Structure 1
Amino acid sequence: MSSNPFYIEISKENLIYNNNYLQKTYNSKLLPVLKANAYGHDINIVSSILYESGVKEFAVARLCEGYKILENENLKDCKILIFETVDQEDYPNLDSRIILSANTFEDLKNMVEKGVPTEQIQIKIDFGFGRNGIFFQEVEELKEYIEKYDLKFSGIYSHLYALEKDEGAEVIEEFKKVILFLGKDRFQMTHIQNSEGIYLHGNSNFFTHIRPGIYIYGIQEPGIHMENIKQVLTLKGKIDSIRQLKNKKYLAYSTKESTKIVGDENIAKIKIGYGDGFLKLNTFTQCVINGKKFIINSITMDNSFIQVDESVKIGDEVILYPDFNDVFFKLNVHIVELICLLSPRLKRVIV
C-alpha cells in the first residue's frame, strides 16, 4: 500500500541566494518579513536559515509569531519587530528581543508609561494608508513629546504599497523629512521599502534597512519582475493510485460531467486537498507530472484527482503550483493568498 503524501520543499540555497542578492544589489541590511508562517514556508525553518546566513533582525505581524521564532534557542541575539499593536497585558513579561510598534500616539504613551524600554519600540508613521501608524499630522506633537523625555528608539518606519512610482517617491521624501525633523540619531533603524518599494525605488542609503516580504521567498508581483531572485517553495508529492472510471458516473462527490472529464478516463489520485490548504478554488488548474501538464479535475478535503494519460504511473512525481504567475492569470488570486493557507500537516523539507 503506497503512502505518497504531499510535502513542501524549501530550497535553502535559493533562500540564502535571495538574501545575499538583495543585500548586495541594494547595499543595505535586510529586515525580512516572516509573518503568516513565513508566507507559508515555515517560520522556524526560514528564520533559522537566515540567521545562519547572518540576518539577526526579522519582522512579523503578531506577537505569537515573534515568540514562535524564539522557540529556537540558537537565535540568541536576534531582534523581532511586531507590526501589529500588542496588548498592554503582555508588556510586563516582554522578551528583550521583541520590538513593539507604536501604531498610534496613544500606543507610544502607554508603552513609555508602562515601562517598556524605548530601545524596544519602533514608531510607525501613517502617510494616509489608513491601516496603522501615528498620523503625519501629529508629527509636531510627537517631536515635543520625544524631546521632553529625551527618548531614543529602536527605529522608525512607514509603509509603501499600491502607489504609483512618483507618488511613492514623494512619500519616501516626506518620510525622510519626518526622520530629520524628529532627529535621525534618535532611531537605530529606519525603513520604508517593502518588496514593491524595493523594486520601484531601490535604496537611497538614507535608510538603514530594506524590508523584503515576497522577494525574500523569490515570489514576484503580477506584472512586476524582479531580476535574479529564485523561488524558494515547491509543493510536490507523488501519484498515490490510478483508477479507470469508464462506465462510472461519479468522481468522488461530483459527476464526471461536472468535472470535465473527457476521452481517456484514467484518473490519478494524490493525497492533498482543501484540508491541507489546497483549496477547491484550484479545480481545473494545472499540475506537472513528468514534465507534462495535466488538469486537476476535482478536489476534496484529503485528496485531489487528475485526469492523466497512460504515460503516468503510480509513484510519479507531481508538482502543484508549477508557475506562480500563472496562478494569478487563471484564478485572479495572488499566489501568496494560497501558499499562506498551506496546512502544517504538509511537512516542510529543507533541500
Structure 2
Amino acid sequence: MTNNSFYAIIDKEALKHNINYLKNFKNKNILPVIKANAYGHDILLISKLLYDLDIKTWAVARLSEALDIIENFKKFKISDYKILVFESIEDYKILNENPNIFPSINSIKEFKVALANNIETERMSLKIDLGFGRNGILENEIESLKKLAKFNDWKFFGIFSHLFSATYDDGLVVIQKFTDIVNKLGKNKFELIHLQNAASIFNYDIEIVTHIRTGMLCYGLQEAGYYDTNLKPVLAELIGKVDTVKYLNELNYVAYEELCSVDSSCKKIAKIKIGYGDGFPKCNKGTYCLINKKEYKISQVTMDNTFIEIDDLVNVGDKVELYHRPNELKAKTGCSALELFISLSPLRIKRILKD
C-alpha cells in the first residue's frame, strides 16, 4: 500500500445490521445478490462476510463470478455454500465439477439438456418469464413442464422471476401470475421461491415467496423514490489523502486545462491520486469532497488524478473523503451511488474492513 492511495472502507456491522433488519422487516429469509463485484463492495470479501454471518446461499449474474468465489473459498477449505447463477450455463462439465454452483434454467430446452447431462433437479432454479423482456420459461410452457414432472418426483432448488419497474396494479397482476405458477407446479417442490427487487420489497407483501432477493438493500443502497433510514451504508467511506498542494500563481495549467478553468477566488489547488482510471468518473467534476470536515470543490478529474480547489486549511497528507453524501449523487452527477460504487476499480481501489 502507498500513503496516498484511495481505499473503500467496508463496514461488516452495517452489513449484518441490514441483513437482520430486512429479515425482520418482511419475516422472510434473505437471498443476497453479490453480482457485479457485490455492487462494488468486493465479491470475495462480501461472500466471506456473509458466510461468517451464517448466510451461505448467494446469487450472481455470471458463471465467472461463481468460479472466482469458489477459487477464493478453497484457501479457507470451505465447501458448504451455494451460488445461484442467473445466466444460462452451457458447459455442463463445469457444473458437474463444481457442486457449489446452482444453475438457473431459462427455457424448457435448457431443462431437458440439463437432465440429459445428469444435473440434479435439486440444483436447478426455474426462471419464469413474466413479460419483462428477460429470458425464462414462458407462461404458456408451464403446462408442458407440469406434464414432464407428472411421472417424476422432482424437487428443485428454486423458482423465481423478476418484478421490476411495474406500476403498483401491474405488480399485483404479476404477483398473482407467479403465485398461480408456483402452486400449479407445487410449492413444496421448491426450496427457494423469490420474486422481488428492492422497490417491490417496500411495495408488496408476497405470501408465496420464501426469500427476499436483494442486492442494493443489503448494502444500504437506496432507489429513487424509496428511502429507509434503518438501512446503513456498507461502503462506509471512500478515503485517501492529499498528495500535493500547489499555489495557482506557480502554475500555467491545472493538469490538461488552463487556469481559467479554476474559480477566480481560488489561490491553491490540491491533487489526489484517484481518477477515472480508478473508476472515479469525470461526472464528479464540480461536485464536492470533504477535507477536515469542510467541503471543497472538485475542479478536474483525469485518468489518474483529481484536482480540488482548496484554501490554507488544507495540507499534504490530510484525509480526503469522496462520495460523503451518497444520497445526493444522482442529482449532482447524473449517476446513482449504485452506478458509481460498481465503477470503482477492484484492482486500484482496495476494499478494506472498517477498523
Which runs of 5 or more structure 2 residues have no equivalent in the other structure? none
CA distance in 2, matches of 1:256, 1:230: 40
CA distance in 2, matches of 1:92, 1:190: 22
* Equivalent residues of 1:203, 1:210 under 8 A apart: no
1:242 match: 245
* Equivalent residues of 1:28, 1:203 under 8 A apart: no
CA distance in 1, matches of 2:116, 2:194: 26
TM-score, normalised on structure 1?
0.95
CA distance in 2, matches of 1:343, 1:127: 35
1:177-256 mapped onto 2 (5 Å cutoff): 177-204=180-207, 206-233=208-235, 234-246=237-249, 248-256=251-259
CA distance in 1, matches of 2:181, 2:36: 30
SS at structure 1 position matched to 2:113: helix
Cα–Cα, structure 1 residues 80 and 302, in superposed 2: closer, same or farther, change >3 Å? same
Cα–Cα, structure 1 residues 202 and 290, in superposed 2: closer, same or farther, change >3 Å? farther
CA distance in 2, matches of 1:61, 1:315: 40
1:159 match: 162
1:294 match: 296
CA distance in 2, matches of 1:298, 1:92: 47
For the pair 1:133 / 2:136, whether they are aligned, the reply is yes
1:1-351 mapped onto 2 (5 Å cutoff): 3-70=3-70, 71-73=72-74, 74=76, 75-91=78-94, 93-204=96-207, 206-233=208-235, 234-246=237-249, 248-257=251-260, 259-344=261-346, 345-351=348-354
**What displacement does 1:187 show?**
1.1
> What RMSD over aligned residues (CA atoms) do the two structures have, in Å?
1.6
Which runs of 5 or more structure 1 residues have no equivalent in the other structure? none
After superposing the two structures, state which structure 1 stretch, 109-118 or 239-248, moved more. Answer: 239-248
CA distance in 1, matches of 2:110, 2:218: 30
* Equivalent residues of 1:125, 1:134 under 8 A apart: yes
Deviation per CA, 1:187-229: give whole Å up to 9, x if none. Answer: 111111122221111453x311111110000001022112300
| 2:327 alignment partner AA | N
**What displacement does 1:3 show?**
3.0
**What displacement does 1:62 show?**
0.7
* Equivalent residues of 1:270, 1:305 under 8 A apart: yes
| 1:157 alignment partner AA | F
Identity %: 43
* Equivalent residues of 1:91, 1:114 under 8 A apart: no
**Between Structure 1 and Structure 2, how many residues are aligned?**
348
